[in-house]
Structure 1
Amino acid sequence: MTGEAALGRDFRRLWSALSISLMGSEITVLALPLIAVVTLDVSAFEMGLLAFAGQLPFLLCSLPAGVFVDRVRRLPVLVGADVAAAALLLTLPLSAPFGGPAYAQLCVVAFGVGTCSVLSEVAHYAYVPTLVGRARLTEGNSRLQISHSASASAGPGLGGVLIQFLSATGAVILDAVSFLVSAVLLRSIRKPEDPPGDGQAAVSVRRSLAQGLRALFRHRLLRPIILEGAVASFFESGLLAIYVLYATRELGLNPLTIGLVFACGGVGAIPGALLARWAGARFGIGRAIIGGWILAGFALLMVPLAGGPALVVVAVLAAGRALGALTDTVANIHQWSLRQVVTPDHLAGRVTASQRFIVYGSGAVGALVAGALGSGVGLRPTLFVCAVGCLLAPLVVVFSPLRRLREQPLPEEDPGPFAPAGPAAPADVPAEPGKTG
């Protein structure tokens, strides 16, 4: 039986829905900044503010979204988030006859779509274990990561073509359509979803929020991952916030070329998704995660180092995107699976929401700081600061118990992973009952 057949028809529908919506979203990731830079001629600080608006929902909405997702069925949340995102995106082309879109509208749409992304991502990561079972999480996540990789490969390139020869607002329409198609596919999933436990409704929102954060920070393997993620997200989001501005104004690249450079990230991520299982078996899960993050940090240094003839600039940027995507993908598949394996279903939404709140919220602040710093000291020096910050971020986890983790812990051998952190058992020997191993 093939892997896809074993995972089931409903998983294929989820996989297809994710692939289609991600393809459209990658187009918009390039389109919104280009509308701001080319049409509205914004400053570095305004670019940082636009990126901040898109990530601010992770600070404001992640924790409440986690409580909400753990109290309802997750599939309807996924469908509703897709429909709402499509409606928001369609306001951009609809404003064109009236002289829009304005900068303020871009920020509002970025914030609204970001809010939909919060709900969708929290529900998605909580829903996948229900759909495929915890024993097949790495296999399922590898396939889902291929969707991220393929969309990252084709999406920006397609977006660059559409923006170059049509318009950025026209490209946004395709993203809206992709969300609607995704909603239809998700709606066709037939596997029954268990209703949430009655006990959750009786717990106060404040206590529910605290349970999610406590579960994340008390786990000896998840805690170092979340700390590294917060530091890395702060600097990487800062770098990405001013990337398009740097590429257009200082490097002289057009939308098509920028799209092709971004597409190289997807090209590198696809083998990363395919190699993740091998890397975990060869080096151990913990070292695959840490090593992937370190190499991804080196790759980001290529952005401020790019210079010289146009062909060399493009080659350096493309190589950086490809290497970073390959190594980051290996790390992310294993750390996602680890979090899903050790998290009980009734806490899945809140643990994911807490992770998004801390990591993506840190990224929102980083985007705003980078925008301000770029306006003050220049784009290239700011990019150097951000790249070095990403390179140093894995130091947070190098000496943690994560480094000794050889295999994903089995759920049936891990009944108490959310007990207060204590002395770590060696990860390469059988764990005692109640320990993560």
Structure 2
Amino acid sequence: MAGKTTLTGDFKKLWLALSVSLMGSEITVLALPLIAALTLEVSAFEMGLLAAVGQLPFLLCSLPAGVLIDRLPRRPVLITTDIGSALLLLTVPLSIPFGGPVYLQLCAVAFGIGTFSVISEVAHYAYVPTLVGREHLTASNSRLQVSHSASAAAGPGLGGILVQLLSAPLTFLIDAVSFLTSAVLLRSIRSPEPPPDTANPSPSLRHSLLIGLRTLFSHRLLRPIILEGATAVFFESGLLAIYVLYATRELGLSPLTIGLVFAAGGLGAIPGALLARWAGNRYGIGPAIIGGWFLAGLAGLLVPLAGGPLPLIIATLATGKALGALTDTVANIHQWSLRQAVTPDHLAGRVTASQRFIVYGTGAIGALTAGALGSTIGLRPTLLLCALGCLAAPLIALLSPLRHLHKQPTTAPTTMDTAVDTVTNTTP
């Protein structure tokens, strides 16, 4: 079928739509905390709270979103969330004539964008397997990850320039336009989606939610990924929540310099996306996932250790970003593909939503915790604790059957039991 080859015209449209929206989003990822740190001069706790509010939708909305996505066509959902995100972002520059933005408005925008992002990501991960087929998942996800990496490379640097030249609030216009462009591209996709599975509808919302959670925790390979991911994201979100505050107030970096440091992460992620297949073939899928996570945690230690002359500080932070992004990208491509490959289509939304709820939901708690710690023991000690937590997290996966997985399954399971059998047959 036309929709089952990796580089069909419709896949290219999806790829381009994601690339455009990601570029704008990476600009906003830097602009939002810069407004808080430089314009509003918030405290470490307020910075952590802002980051936590942005991730709170993962706790509140992920599971209901999964049920919704499994009952609806995915493409219209993606279009709707793009339009909603654009309208919400426009409120920031529109508030300038009225003395805004203010801190509470930033929290509201962060929460709203987070909510749309949760729904969009669940729909996106559920949509890709139906568009390209399971046999092309690793190749397709590698291409999509290149977009993540390229936007992460160019977006923050561009964001730093725009913040320096135009002010942070006006940079939100760029992100709004990117979401509207993405919606137009998604609207042009013509491949029909398989109809949602309505033959055996779940008797209740609660039962539907439990199916997704039980699917994750009953699978011997997905369970360690979820547990490791939740632990790592708790500490990583804490580190990122106060990163900009640390960079501006303790290290004295400008918005442009911070943007360039973040861009180094994107540059490092690009070869990670290109090397993912080689790493999986050379070392096995499980070892590539675990090793990538461990090296990314090791790179995180460079953040609190940065010091000395300004060029050395910049080089240390940029190296940490680049190395962490490269190795984390290799791990994430394979763990995304594994989850997609072993999940039946009619459970794709709920399984992805459950993963988002557990893994990224802990990020809200981690960000708030880091903000509170940063206000009491200081920013650098808090960053060191977060980095050590990221480094220790892969031990969970190392002590699990995941370390023995060498190949990705390629057959489409119809039930989770079938999926488990498929994976078992690929493991020595």
Q: So what's the TM-score if we normalise by structure 1? A: 0.95
1:220 equivalent in alignment to 2:220: yes
Aligned residue for 1:308, secondary structure, equals: coil
Q: Which residue of 2 aligns with 1:298?
A: 298
Written as runs of structure 1 = structure 2, the 5 A alignment for 1:356-367 is 356-367=356-367
Q: Deviations over 1:262-288 (max 9, x none)?
A: 000010000000000000000000000
- Cα distance in 1 between the residues matched to 2:316 and 2:252: 15
Q: Which residue of 1 aligns with 2:392?
A: 392
**1:47/1:411 Cα in 2 relative to 1: closer, same or farther (>3 Å)?**
same
Q: Which residue of 1 aligns with 2:192?
A: 192
- Cα distance in 1 between the residues matched to 2:395 and 2:425: 20
- Cα distance in 1 between the residues matched to 2:5 and 2:348: 25
Checking the alignment, whether the CA contact within 8 Å between 1:71 and 1:200 is kept in structure 2 is no
State the Cα RMSD in Å.
Answer: 1.6
Written as runs of structure 1 = structure 2, the 5 A alignment for 1:5-404 is 6-199=6-199, 201-404=201-404
Q: Deviations over 1:79-129 (max 9, x none)?
A: 000000001110000000000000000000000000000010000000000
Residue 193 of structure 1: how far off its partner (Å): 1.0
Checking the alignment, whether the CA contact within 8 Å between 1:285 and 1:408 is kept in structure 2 is yes
Q: Percent identity?
A: 72
**1:311/1:113 Cα in 2 relative to 1: closer, same or farther (>3 Å)?**
same
Checking the alignment, whether the CA contact within 8 Å between 2:265 and 2:318 is kept in structure 1 is yes
Q: Which residue of 2 aligns with 1:433?
A: none
- Cα distance in 2 between the residues matched to 1:300 and 1:224: 21
Checking the alignment, whether the CA contact within 8 Å between 1:404 and 1:427 is kept in structure 2 is no
Residue 399 of structure 1: how far off its partner (Å): 1.6
- Cα distance in 2 between the residues matched to 1:53 and 1:200: 36
Residue 201 of structure 1: how far off its partner (Å): 4.1
Q: Deviations over 1:159-213 (max 9, x none)?
A: 0000011110111110011000000000000001122122354531111000000
Which amino acid is the alignment partner of residue 280 of structure 1? G
Checking the alignment, whether the CA contact within 8 Å between 1:218 and 1:419 is kept in structure 2 is no
Which amino acid is the alignment partner of residue 318 of structure 1? A
Checking the alignment, whether the CA contact within 8 Å between 1:406 and 1:428 is kept in structure 2 is yes
- Cα distance in 1 between the residues matched to 2:166 and 2:202: 53
Aligned residue for 1:195, secondary structure, equals: coil
Q: Which residue of 2 aligns with 1:435?
A: none
Residue 417 of structure 1: how far off its partner (Å): 3.7
Aligned residue for 1:339, secondary structure, equals: helix
- Cα distance in 1 between the residues matched to 2:265 and 2:196: 38
- Cα distance in 2 between the residues matched to 1:37 and 1:158: 19
- Cα distance in 2 between the residues matched to 1:200 and 1:362: 32
**1:199/1:384 Cα in 2 relative to 1: closer, same or farther (>3 Å)?**
same
Which amino acid is the alignment partner of residue 138 of structure 2? T
Written as runs of structure 1 = structure 2, the 5 A alignment for 1:412-431 is 412=412, 417-418=416-417, 427-429=426-428
Aligned residue for 1:101, secondary structure, equals: coil
Checking the alignment, whether the CA contact within 8 Å between 2:89 and 2:109 is kept in structure 1 is yes
Checking the alignment, whether the CA contact within 8 Å between 1:56 and 1:361 is kept in structure 2 is yes
Checking the alignment, whether the CA contact within 8 Å between 1:25 and 1:175 is kept in structure 2 is yes
Checking the alignment, whether the CA contact within 8 Å between 2:343 and 2:419 is kept in structure 1 is no
**1:244/1:53 Cα in 2 relative to 1: closer, same or farther (>3 Å)?**
same
Name the count of aligned residue pairs: 424
Mark the runs of 5 or more structure 1 residues left unpaired by the alignment: 430-437
**1:11/1:247 Cα in 2 relative to 1: closer, same or farther (>3 Å)?**
same
Which amino acid is the alignment partner of residue 260 of structure 2? L
Checking the alignment, whether the CA contact within 8 Å between 1:215 and 1:418 is kept in structure 2 is no
Which aligned runs of 4 or more in structure 1 are off by greater than 2 angstroms? 4-7, 199-203, 414-422, 424-429
Residue 409 of structure 1: how far off its partner (Å): 1.8
